[in-house]
Structures are given as C-alpha cells and as structure tokens.
Amino acid sequence: HNGVEHLVYASSSSVYGSNTNMPLSVHDNVDHPMSTYAATKKSNELMAHSYSHLFNLPTTGLRFFTVYGPWGRPDMALFLFTRAILKGEKLPVFNYGKHTRDFTYIDDIVEGVVRALDKTAESDSNYDSSNPDSGTSSVPWRVYNIGGGQPVELLKYIELIEDATGKKADLDLLPLQVGDVPDTDADVSDLQIDIGYKPTTTVEVGVRKFVEWYRDFYKV
C-alpha cells in the first residue's frame, strides 16, 4: 500500500440494491445488488476490507447518495434535465417520475470527504464475528452513508429545475428501468456521530446554484 496512512474511497448508495428498509443504514445487509455497477461498488468495499485485514491499512468507504452540483457529470440527471428543458427537448422520465432520491450537494460531499480523511478508521472493539455488523469490522475498516438527508420525488426535482430555468419541461413518462431502484434515503447518523457531518445545502438552493452555473458556463 506504498506508505498510505488512511485510504478514503468512493462507494455508492447503489450497493443497497433491493433493500426497501428506509432510511438505508450501513448496518443493513448489502448482498443483493441490482446492477453490475452496484456489484462493482460492493466489490470495492470488499477489496478495501481485505487490505485492512492483510496490511492493517485503515480504509473508509463513503457511500455517495446522488451527488449533484456545478461541474457535475453531463450524463447525470440534473445536467440532462437542465439541458433538455433549456433546449425545449422532450425529457424522458423513468418510473413516471415517482421514485425518490436523496440528493446530496457537492459542497456537502466535499466537506464529508475531508472530515472522513481526518478521522482514521479504527477496528470496532465491540465487533462480534458470530453476529457480524455490515458497517464495521475487527480490522480498521469502516463504511458510511454520505447523503443530503432530504429525499425528493423526481417530479418535484424537475419542478425545481423548471423554477430555476423559468421554462416548463416536456415530459415523456416511462416505466422504471431494469437495474434501477425506486427510492434512496440515507441514514447518516454514523457519519454525524463519528465526524460531525451535517449537510447544509437544501435541494432548492442546490438546484438553483447548478442552473446558474450551467447558464454561465454554456452562455444560455
């Protein structure tokens, strides 16, 4: 591990797969992924655990919940929705817009990552191998949810984009995609207790900031 003192890496809320027990907790079982992407993120956590066990390397995995904000990936929902609405293009909306997401603004993500980096993962002295906890271990390995704490229905999310752009969306309502999950809602209590994480950006403010950035960057 080349002298690394503490490895913090990105996991994903997708590891929860078919779990419908909300809010989603790091202490829940995550052995039922619904996509290959989710399976690779779960594998990421398992690989980190093996390094923590073999080399006593502290590792911390952060399960990101629907990150959004300026400079976001152009293949993600907020970017695609904003572009389609501003161009007057038809907007495909899966699950008829009824699923919910725990949107997390990029500034809150960055603060959480920095705080996690400063909190080196430790072994859990109360770990019981006969009744294993999915979120901790007998080795210096931890996983945390990092979410916004405010699940929003997709149709409401689109309304916020409409408000920020001043334009109406032309919706094409479609069934849920195979491999997608209907809802996400992060239980961030472990992260709050261990590092003092507290998201501060509401989805209303976050969407407005993104649209302002998009208009300025693309001059539209």
Give catalytic residues, as residue numbers. 37
Q: To which residue do tokens 């152009």 refer?
A: 74
